[in-house]
Amino acid sequence: MKLILTGILAGLLAATAAHADEMVFTSWGGTTQEAQTKSWAAPFEASSGIKVLQDGPTDYGKLKAMVEGGSVAWDVVDVEMDFAIKAAKDGLLEPIDFNVVPKADLDPRFTTDHAVGSFYYSFVLAWNKGAVSGEPTGWADMFDQTKFPGKRTFYKWSAPGIIEIALLADGVPADKLYPLDLDRAFKKLDTIKSEIVWWDSGAQSQQLIASGEAAFGQLWNGRVFALEQDGADVGVSWNQNMTAADVLVIPKGSKNKASAMKFLAAATSPKSQAMFAEASGYAPINTAAKAEMPADVVKSLPDAYVDGQINLDMNYWAENRDKIAERWYAWQAK
Amino acid sequence: MSGNLLHRPSIFRRPDGIGGALPALILIILFFVVPVVALLLRSVTEPVPGLQNYATLFGDGTYARVFFNTFLVATVVTAVTVIVAFPVAWMLAIMPPTLGSIVFGIIILSMWTNLLTRTYAWMVLLQRTGVINRTLMDIGLISQPLPLINNLTGVTIGMVYIMLPFMILPLVGTLRAIDPMTLRAAALCGASPLEAFRRILLPLSLPGIAAGGLMVFVMSLGYFVTPTLLGGTSNMMLAAMIAQMIQSLLNWGLGSAAAFILLVVTMALYALQLRLVGAKRMTGGI
């Protein structure tokens, strides 16, 4: 019965499935997917003759339904790395064929048997200069309501980042974060809960900060970069910036697996990665990409702020994803 | 009259079987009944067979809170909608027909505007740096922005606005059917306007209020977009929770169970509505 339902669901979802010489790339929409289309899909189409159809936004529920129902409409999907590790364990992903995808220059932090990096980013502290007096210097300031009053904005979904931020602000040393002390983190978060405005998409985080609706917040560095490019009056602190990555995966049962592998090879090549980084402000996962980029772009990437940088532990998160998510949403709903 | 009808081509005759309804029936079975049955089955088979998903939903304080929120929001929205809709409906009922149809048109037009657009418009108006707070601060009425969004206030304002037409339309039907002479008679007997409203108009309009109120309540129970955008995480309603279970937690069993409970409650309320108001009145009144 479960199969029948997922079959029906997947059948409906697969209505957009690609034909021969076509494949479907799914990502998160907005400026990020635009940059991926321009930097990866367009050159790939020109060189391979394979048409890349764009779909989105990424939806883990849909991905699971497609794989379980055996009717997979997506060939390459941009997902968060902790999800990819978990999904690989659950048998939802195809293994990567590293004979097609050159592995040598790929950042090993973001490469697994079932995923290659898409890009990596840092959570940084950003603020609206008109709404904040003084200059916040670190995560602890987000919890200091006397020094820095006003609304603060955080990522709404259960994901690596905010738990770690709360623990750092509470005095946990960066090298003692894992395993996460959830009780302590939620207790710390309770102290500012009424002042939190949640953002659930990158565009919303930009809108909240740019308008001053939230005085400051935890943002993806690429989104702050875009705000600066637009001339918004924002400040940013890279102190204890936290890296996390998006990765590219192929759902199990993809009908265009061969094309998908070729696409992965093209998307992770130094040149494609350099183009994307320049367009988005996110960092390349190919270590050879930097040589292809203008010096001022290299300077604006998370790579330039490795001092005090914290790598969010994706393996820990993959292991504890469900448990943390359950507590997270229960805490939010309280 | 009836003789005439018999000679008309069969297409004009009342269908005597369910033949005419067959396409709709097939559509409903394929796209509603089958998925709902599958949903029910998932809720008792995933991850293992049994009723544990329902036990979790009823036993856990967090979910109880979400159920409570859902009913709270639906109740508040329904009450406010009745209060706001009544004067409008009364005005429409006693207006000259030409003017009435213009006002009617405006109300219908707002129904046709995209829901998301309308909700985003409310975000622009209600947020801390929004039009309302800016204006009130500029004229010196308040010094700190009022919390109008990401809370129950925001959800109520946004949803009442969306629900108004569904309350006004049945209410106008009921109010139009009330003989204005009854109010004049009450006045002649010495009743004050308030008393006439309380003892004559209100009781006579109850069927319309019940029909509209139940419709608004039932629609509010399953609402997703407006509470998500205008409410805070602590106002989470059932629909948002179901989406979260399926999209973020990938827990289809629990999500299906929650969806099924929502469906049962909605159906029960609909059955109640049919009993109270009568099917004919409900569909004919609108």
Transcribe B119-148 into DSSP letters: HHHHHHHHSTTSHHHHHHHHTTS-SS----
End-to-end alpha carbon distance in chain B: 27
Tens digit of each residue's pLDDT (9 = 90 or more) over A281-303: 899 999 999 999 988 888 888 98
User: Closest to A333 (Cβ–Cβ): which among B66, B129, B246?
Assistant: B66
Q: Would you state the pLDDT for residue B62?
A: 87
Residue A119: beta bridge partners? A246
Backbone angles phi, psi at A126, to 5 degrees: -120, 150
Q: How many helices (H) and strands (E) does chain B have?
A: 16, 0
- Cα distance between residue A239 and residue A139, in whole Å: 8
Residue pLDDT, tens place only, B202-232: 999 998 998 899 999 999 999 999 999 999 8
Chain B environment of A60 (Cβ under 8 Å) = 247-248, 250
pTM over 0.80: yes
| C-alpha pair distances (Å), A332 with each of A209, A326, B123, B227 | 21, 10, 21, 15
Interface check for B181 against chain A (CB to CB < 8 A): the answer is no
A residues 148-187 near B, CB within 8 Å?
A: 151, 156-158
A250 and A163 in a common domain: no
pLDDT mean over A241-245? 95
Q: What is the domain range of residue A93? A: 2-120+245-304
Among A237-246, B9-18, B215-224, B264-273, the least confident range: B9-18
Burial of B8 (0-12, 13-18, 19+ CB in 10 A): exposed
A180-197 pLDDT, tens digit each: 999 999 999 999 999 999
Using the Cβ of A233 and the Cβ atoms of chain B, whether some distance falls under 8 Å is answered with: no
What does the DSSP 8-state code read for residue A242? E
Percent of chain B with pLDDT over 70: 90
Mark whether A185 and A283 lie in a shared domain.
no
| B30 residue type, one letter | L
CA distance A243 to A42: 28
Report the distance separating Cα A197 and Cα B258, nearest Å.
27
A59 contacts in chain B (CB < 8 Å): 247
A175: confidence class by pLDDT, cuts 50, 70, 90 = very high
Q: Which one of A1, A64, A211 has the shortest CB-CB distance to B38?
A: A1
Residue A94 pLDDT: 97
Same domain flag for A113 and A253: yes
* pLDDT at res. A45: 96
pLDDT band at A5 (very low <50, low <70, confident <90, very high): low
Interchain CB distance below 8 Å, A5 and B42 = yes
- Whether A56 shows a pLDDT value over 50: the answer reads yes
**pLDDT value at residue A237:** 95
Nearest Cα to Cα of residue A41 among A123, A149, A137, A118:
A118
The string of DSSP codes covering B168-226 is HHHHHHHHHHS-HHHHHHHHHTT--HHHHIIIIIHHHHHHHHHHHHHHHHHHHHT--HH
pLDDT of residue B54: 94
DSSP A268-307: TSHHHHHHHHHHHSPBPSBTTGGGGS-HHHHHTSGGGG-T
Whether residues A27 and A105 fall in one domain: yes
Same domain, A191 and A237: yes
Q: Which residue has the tokens 């995560």?
A: A139
Q: Render the burial of B219-238: b for 16+ CB within 10 Å, e for the rest.
A: bbbbbebbbbbbbbbbbbbb
A158 and A228, same domain (yes or no): yes
**CATH number assigned to the domain comprising residue A97:** 3.40.190.10
Name the amino acid, one letter, at A227. L
CA trace torsion B39, B44, B48, B50 (10° rounding): 180
pLDDT of A255 over the 80 cut: yes
Check whether residue A190 and residue A320 sit in a common domain. Answer: yes
Q: Is the pLDDT higher at B109 or at B284? A: B109
What number is the average pLDDT over the span A36-48? 96
Contacting residues for B159 by C-beta, under 8 A, at least 6 apart = B73, B77, B220, B223, B226, B227
Q: Which CA distances in Å does A102 have to A109, A134, A220?
A: 16, 48, 28
- Shared-domain flag, residues A238 and A126: yes
Under the banding of pLDDT at 50, 70 and 90, the label for residue A142 is very high
In residues, how long is chain A?
Answer: 334
Count of the separate structural domains present in chain A: 2
Report the alpha-carbon distance of residue B10 to residue A29 in Å, rounded. Answer: 53
- In this structure, the answer to whether residues A191 and A113 fall within a common structural domain is no
Res. A83: pLDDT tops 90: yes
Identify whether residues A188 and A316 lie together within a single domain: yes
Q: Are strands A51-55 and A76-80 parallel, antiparallel or unpaired?
A: unpaired
ipTM of the modeled complex? 0.76
pLDDT over 70 (residue B253): yes
**Which residues 111-130 of B have a C-beta within 8 angstroms of A?**
127-129
Q: Which residue has the tokens 């500012």?
A: A192
- Domains identified in chain B and CATH numbers: 62-284 (1.10.3720.10)
Length of chain B counted residue by residue: 286
The amino acid occupying position A150 is G
Can you read off the two tokens belonging to residue A322?
């469900």
Burial A259-269 (b: 16+ CB within 10 A, else e): bbbbbbbbbbb
Task: Point out the residue among A2, A151, A329 whose CB comes nearest to the CB of B128.
Answer: A151
Please indicate, yes or no, whether residues A272 and A327 belong to a single structural domain of this protein: no
Contacting residues of A for B233, CB less than 8 Å apart: 156, 198, 332-333
Of B65, B127, B249, the CB nearest to A213: B127
Considering the domain architecture, whether residues A134 and A217 belong to the same structural domain is answered as: yes
Model confidence at A8, pLDDT cuts 50, 70, 90, reads low
Nearest CA distance, A44 vs chain B (angstrom): 31
Residue B263 in this model has a pLDDT that exceeds 90: yes
Quote the pLDDT of residue A9: 55
Q: How many CA atoms lie within 13 A of B187 on its CB side?
A: 7
